[in-house]
């Protein structure tokens, strides 16, 4: 464990450097906040933002970890948590307990959230949909002029 002070220019936006094969999302960009290195992998804190229009979302999955929260900084995202549609907007905090079945299926063009998880290199598994879960259609992003 060591002190860390990460400035916005210290780490670049890009693909999730810690994603495993079931957690590769090319429709999002990530910025490492230096916490993985500072905590020797105990905790990961990263920013996540929308990169391209939602299509198939994350699919149904859960994570093998001890702690996981999402704090929405800008915009919004729609999740399925078990069979419930949940709108997570700027200013909202979500605690995702270990093993929770979820599916991030829609998000705004300006979506940006802080994700904190422990251990930092947690596992992800694709899972079968919960009984009765129905994914609503996703919104279409406005086209740029
Ligand atoms: Fe997830």
- ∠ CA 111-117-119, rounded to 5°: 150
Prediction pTM value: 0.93
Ligand 1 center from residue 54 Cα (angstroms)? 15
**What is the number of other CB atoms lying within 10 angstroms of the CB of residue 33?**
21
Ligand 1 center from residue 81 Cα (angstroms)? 10
DSSP state of 139: P
**What is the number of other CB atoms lying within 10 angstroms of the CB of residue 55?**
8
Domain locations along the chain: 21-126
pLDDT tens, residue by residue, 8-64: 999 999 999 888 777 778 999 999 999 999 999 999 999 999 999 999 999 999 999
Which residues does 144 contact at the CB level (< 8 Å), separation at least 6? none
Ligand 1 center from residue 63 Cα (angstroms)? 6
Q: Distance between CA atoms of 82 and 16, rounded to whole angstroms?
A: 25
| CATH code for the part of the protein at 21-126 | 2.60.120.10
Ligand 1 center from residue 61 Cα (angstroms)? 6
């Amino acid at each position: 464990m060591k002190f860390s002070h990460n400035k916005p220019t210290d780490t670049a936006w890009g693909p999730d450097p810690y994603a495993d094969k079931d957690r590769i999302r090319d429709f999002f960009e990530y910025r490492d906040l230096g916490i993985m290195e500072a905590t020797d992998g105990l905790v990961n804190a990263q920013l996540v933002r929308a990169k391209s229009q939602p299509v198939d979302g994350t699919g149904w999955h859960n994570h093998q970890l001890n702690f996981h929260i999402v704090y929405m900084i800008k915009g919004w995202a729609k999740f399925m948590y078990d069979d419930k549609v949940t709108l997570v907007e700027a200013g909202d905090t979500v605690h995702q307990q270990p093993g929770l079945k979820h599916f991030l299926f829609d998000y705004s063009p300006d979506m940006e959230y802080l994700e904190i998880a422990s251990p930092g290199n947690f596992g992800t598994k694709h899972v079968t949909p919960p009984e009765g879960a129905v994914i609503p259609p996703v919104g279409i992003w406005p086209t740029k002029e």
